[in-house]
Amino acid sequence: MNDLVAMGDQIIRVPRPELEGRERAYSTVEDLRGLVGRHPNLQGVVRARQALDLMRVGSDSAPETFLRLSILDAGLPEPELQVGLRPADPRPPSADLGFRQRKVAVQYDGGHHLFEPQRLSDHRRDKAFEAAGWAVIIVDKTDMEDGFTAAIKKIKKALRASVSDSTVAAGFAEEA
């Protein structure tokens, strides 16, 4: 199911024209729902409907989708995708996933993040979030290989640390 959701997320995602040479998504959730609705007896249609309910615009890669789904599977609130540090800024530093009210940013760093220009850009981005009082959690391929278990613990810990109201904190009281 997760692979189907990740594929759907890539079909509906808003492209980055400067990198991809296109300005529009390949499709929309509504169009995909229409397609699935026209074939109610097709094998796999139930799974397709379930996947559609989990698809979100904003995931830039399959690992980001897998991380988001792992966060949901862990019982945590659904993160916002492509969280701009300053919403009014047209080009703010952004986090792949995040919890704006709790000021927790989560970055999935794929292989291209190992190259020096990207590492410098990532460092500036992360420092901007930290300077604004956000916790920044970096997740990579190693985390994905363990099913994001360690990453989820870090996210839970950061969410708990950001909560001051003990009644809300009870929802994050599970051992990290």
What is the mean pLDDT of the segment spanning 70-97? Answer: 90
pLDDT value of position 115:
55
pTM of the model as a whole: 0.85
Instruction: Locate the domains of the chain by residue range.
Output: 1-57, 58-176
Q: pLDDT by residue (tens digit) across 112-135?
A: 656 576 678 788 899 999 999 999
Among candidate residues 162, 161, 157, the one with its CA nearest the CA of residue 175:
157
72-82: pLDDT as tens digits = 999 999 999 99
In CATH terms, is domain 58-176 a member of 3.40.960.10?
yes
Distances (CA, A) of 91 to 83, 84, 87: 11, 8, 9
